[in-house]
Amino acid sequence: MDKDDILRRLKNVEGHVRGIAGMVEKDVYCIDLIQQIQAVQAALNKIRSSILNDHLNSCLVTALRGDDPAERERVLKEIAEVYEMASKV
């Protein structure tokens, strides 16, 4: 995904979340709310995966091929932290 695609998808998610808020205000059936929330989570997961993939194929590769061991360690630590945070969700 390029920047424009990511922004378009985020704006769609934003609209979807506003729609869910409207559903809550209208006391929509709980399962319907949950299904809509799951749809938003899936959309955000797809965006996150795309950004992470781009990072792995650009920043990480550049750092691993570079001559600075501290930079390699920093980037690898970032990736580990991202995976650790994801496992807590």
CATH of the domain at 19: 1.20.58.1000
Domains held by the chain: number: 1
Q: Which domain holds residue 80?
A: 3-88
Measured N-to-C along each axis, helices 30-55 and 3-25 cross at an angle, to the nearest 10 degrees, of 160
Q: How confident is the model at residue 16 (pLDDT cuts 50, 70, 90)?
A: very high
**35's tokens:** 């299904």
Q: pLDDT tens digits, residue range 42-72?
A: 999 999 999 999 999 998 899 889 999 999 9
Share the mean pLDDT of the chain. Answer: 94
Polymer length in residues for the chain:
89
When mean pLDDT is compared over 25-34, 67-76, 78-87, the highest value belongs to: 25-34
Q: Which of 6-10, 12-16, 21-25, 68-72 has the lowest mean pLDDT?
A: 68-72
pTM of the model: 0.83
Residue 10: its H or E element: helix 3-25
Structure tokens at 75: 């980037």
